[in-house]
Amino acid sequence: MAANTICTASNGWKMRPLEESDYTFFMESFKDYPLGSNSYAARVNRFSGCLYRNSLYEDSIIKAKKVTIADGVDGDGVVRTYVTERADGTAIQIRVLIMHEPGVKVARAYAMHPTYRGNGYIHQCEALGVGLNREWDIDIVRGWLEATPTFPAITPMRAKYVTAGINLDMSTDTNVQDHGNESLIKKLEASKTQYEALKTNCPGWADVTYTISTS
């Protein structure tokens, strides 16, 4: 089992690797996920795959920027699935991250549990993720947003990205990675300076520090 990084903020928020006991939380979070199939069988397979991928490779190779096939990593890269917890220990969000280029982190999926939507938590989740970026020495963060957002939370999040100077419209692509879905998605890319700005601009997070441990 690979040792996975845990990131705990000084305000109590935490990112930890997905665990088997997160099954129900995971299934409920992805039940209405707008990209790809969200059938029960597809969610079970996704959960199993996320646990398996968390067990492959050591996080140290991410920081060393040795995440390519030439470095002995398979074609999927290093894939990590994390659960975000509030300061009271409540799990609220799941994110799937992929590293297959040196110094580049791809946000593959963000899924907020339906119970906790509408509370502005996505801003804290983004600020918390900066701690992981620092630990892994990430230079560039990439992701994709729906061209026409399903959930209203994406609108204020897009505004924060723009304030940070992040390019939201690098390209418009058809979502070909998730089978059974042809949604239009827009590629975004953030530099280290830009993703750090997401933390600085999040109310109450400018002076937050991070502690790194392993599971």
> Whose CA is closest to 94, among 31, 188, 159, 157?
31
Q: Which CATH number is associated with domain 5-205?
A: 3.40.630.30
The predicted model gives 86-90 an average pLDDT of: 97
Q: What is the pLDDT of residues 125-150, one digit of tens each?
A: 999 999 999 999 999 998 877 777 77
pTM confidence score: 0.88
From residue 165, alpha-carbon distances to 161, 195, 198 in Å are: 6, 9, 10
Domain ranges within the chain, ordered by starting residue: 5-205
Which tokens hold the place of 64? 């060393």
pLDDT digits (tens, 9 = 90+) for 174-191: 655 554 566 677 778 899
Instruction: Give the bridge partners for 79, in sequence order.
Output: 98
